[in-house]
Amino acid sequence: MKKLLLFILFLFIIPVYAQELNEHQLDSLYEKFLQMNGISSADHPEVHSENEKCGFGMVNQVKINLERFSPEKQQVLKSLLQRPVRETSMVSPSGFFRIHYNTTGTEVPRYNPFLTTEQNVEQVGIALDSSYNFEVNFLGYPPPPPDNGEGGDNLYDVYITSALGNYGFTQPESTLGNQKYTSHIQIHYNFQGFYTEGFDAMLVTIAHELHHSIQIGNYTWDRADQDQYFYEITSTAMEEFVYDDINDYYAYMPDYFNNTERTFSENNGYNLAIWNIFLKDKFDYDIIKRQWELLPQMRALNAINTSIVEYNSNFRDIFNEFGVWTFFTKHRAKQGEYFEEGANYPLVRSTTFTFQPPEKKVTIDSKPVSNWFISFLNASTAPDDTITVLISNGDYITGVNNPSSIVELEYTLYDYNAQGSRKLNENFNYYSLFNTGQIPYLGSSEFFNSELLGINIFTAEYNYAFPSPFKYGVNNFIFIPISSPESDNADLNIYTTSMDLVYSVNQSLNDLNSQPGIIWNALGNNGQRLASGVYIYAIKSGEKTSLGKLVIFNE
């Protein structure tokens, strides 16, 4: 029994990945940060200023790695990370924000050239209060915390500067414990030369950066180097949620639509705002907030999956549906379906092959949490038939633990009923065979001349309980699956690592994530919460038994 327990514990160890920069990367980071501050160096005497979306990631990397720079470079970086000094300030109408700005020099606020400096700053205050009202009062996010008197008082400080050549950025400052930090925001003084300029750029930048201040002040900043894209997905989508008529996020969409085969974490997040727009339209705003509530206990993809499970769905199916939505854009957009602004979105890039009957086999290297679009052009028909296939790899677990891993998948299109194939649609004489190799979390959708034929999910069983770790007050239940059950009921026993029985039940199986199992509220036989620790479960249906481990936090 002890050997079995050791094997189970070894099998379910969850690796932790932290980003650590090498010496060359540190040097590059240092040079880039100097250039963003308009400072030349011996290695890079010419400074090239580029307008970028948000400096949040760059500032994070500098602060996270600060102690790894040489003492001389640390001194330079610390001086650059200090709050800027402005000539004067103004309080927003709500009294929550203090806006610091100059009235002379090159960085005088000029979002609307027909307004005075003070009137421009007044508009900043109104915009801050408007974004606060939507994100905090309407959506229910907690406000950014006070900064212990930095900036002259405990109001939240916003500085109008060159913003490192970006639209703006939010800078974490003092720790409040539990991964939470104070912060301040800097926004650009006029936004000239940006994709969105002037007044509109100011509005969406404030909506974007305010949510960064909420993220690091109430949830976690410590994961920003691991899941940077997740922070930007939310803040960029927040621009659309707060200011629907300003579409600065359009500028970044082609990068995703041309590279859907990348795994999620390879994206910068700006280009994936449509993911959160999709989740909001599919479910509601609260599913996004729920992910932030979960993030301090788990990685971003795990938080996304858990939130979707709590909405009685699963990541694999939802991710494939997201891929379908991204197909119906531009001239393929459908009124009242999919993305509301889909007609303005770019077309998703598809790899095209010539289909020469009777068959065509295509092999792809699929990364976890990625969508591949493959098109078959049949020139033997008049007009040409185009069959587009969306292959979704919804393996969010590997997307966390080994995002660069690749699995080889085969998709074959036929014009006859080949052995093992399935007909795409009764109205068309096409068949397909998708060789998944029994890899879990795969799905496909086919389109004939831009019309959806169907969605196909390929189920593979798994044998782990989730969420793990489970935390009281954060999670609502633990789902414990069983592979290939032999009856509709199952016995569930929960043991400590000393093999003390703490919970036992016989109940009907539930289906979750297309997998049968038992939903358990994580309470012991006495109805009380269990102590923090590792627990062993055994679930049995007929003669079929599954074993595993899970972790419970009781704080």
Q: Write down the pLDDT at residue 40.
A: 58
Question: What are the Cα distances from residue 398, in Å, to 299, 438, 547?
Answer: 12, 15, 21
Question: Taking the C-alpha atoms of 449, 453, 459 and 464 in order, what is their torsion angle to the nearest 10 degrees?
Answer: 80
**Do residues 160 and 166 touch, judged by C-beta distance below 8 A?**
no
Question: Could you tell me the pTM of the whole model?
Answer: 0.79
Is there a contact between 77 and 30 (Cβ–Cβ < 8 Å)? Answer: yes
CA–CA dist 359, 379 (Å, integer): 13
Please count the residues of the chain.
555
| DSSP SS3 for 112 | coil
pLDDT of amino acid 440? 65
CATH numbers and ranges of domains, the chain? 2-81 (no CATH), 88-298 (1.10.390), 321-458 (no CATH), 470-553 (2.60.40.2550)
Token pair for residue 457? 């999910």
Contact 458, 442 (CB under 8 A): yes
- Beta partners for residue 372, in sequence order: 391
Contacts of 269 (CB under 8 A, 6+ apart): 228, 229, 230, 231, 232, 233, 235, 236
In contact, 86 and 159? CB cutoff 8 Å: yes
**Helix, strand, coil fractions of the chain, as percent rounded to 5:** 35, 30, 40
Return d(Cα 217, Cα 144) in angstroms, integer. 5
- Rounded Cα–Cα distance for residues 393 and 437 (Å): 13
Per-residue pLDDT of the chain (555 residues; tens, 9 = 90+): 222 222 222 222 233 334 567 777 777 777 877 777 767 555 544 434 445 576 777 777 787 787 888 888 878 887 777 899 999 999 999 999 999 999 999 999 999 999 999 999 999 999 999 999 999 999 999 999 999 899 999 999 999 999 888 899 999 999 998 889 999 999 999 999 999 999 999 999 999 999 999 999 999 887 777 899 999 999 999 999 999 999 999 999 999 999 999 999 999 999 999 999 999 999 999 999 999 999 998 899 999 999 998 888 888 889 999 999 999 999 999 999 999 999 999 999 999 999 999 999 999 999 999 999 999 999 888 688 999 999 999 988 888 888 988 888 999 999 999 998 989 888 888 999 988 765 668 888 999 999 998 777 655 455 678 777 888 876 777 888 887 677 788 889 999 988 899 999 988 777 665 678 888 889 999 999 999 999 999 888 887 788 888 899 887
